[in-house]
Amino acid sequence: MNLLPIYRITVFVPPEHLAALKAGILAIDDLALGDYREVMWTSAPGFEQYRPGTAAAPRLGKAGELVSTPSVRLEFSIPRDAQRLRRVISEGVHAHHPWEVPAVFVDEAVFPQPSR
């Protein structure tokens, strides 16, 4: 078994924007893991909430108002490469996500690849 060092990227997005976000990410990177491409995971819808501050420019809600809206969890991984990570997040996620400040989380992990 080979332990491949990866970044695991988690993004929360409104369900109606999921397809566009996935397409935007895949236009920047093929998300290859071993012999597989376009490797992504989507979890069942839940909710996200936020209260925009006075300097925020929210797409939904207004300053001081508590907003709760449906959201899905999208996860994908890339090999640990800081330049690639910055490109995927800025050109893939931020450029195609509807929120001013999307909830994006990056963890360092390993992907156990079977030996052949």
pLDDT at 50: 94
Q: What is the pLDDT of residue 44?
A: 84
d(CA 33, CA 21): 20
pLDDT tens, position by position, 17-27: 999 999 999 99
Range of the domain at 74: 2-113
Q: How confident is the model at residue 9 (pLDDT cuts 50, 70, 90)?
A: very high
Q: So what's the pLDDT on residue 37?
A: 96
Q: 30 falls in which pLDDT band (50, 70, 90)? A: very high
**Which CATH number goes with the domain that contains 36?**
3.30.70.120
Sign of CA dihedral 71, 26, 86, 43: positive
Q: How many structural domains are present in the chain?
A: 1
pLDDT at residue 116 is higher than 80: no
* More confident: 58 or 9: 9
* Residue-wise pLDDT tens digits, 58-69: 988 999 999 999
Q: pTM of the full predicted structure?
A: 0.90
Burial pattern 3-15, b for ≥16 Cβ within 10 A else e, equals: eeebbbbebbbbe
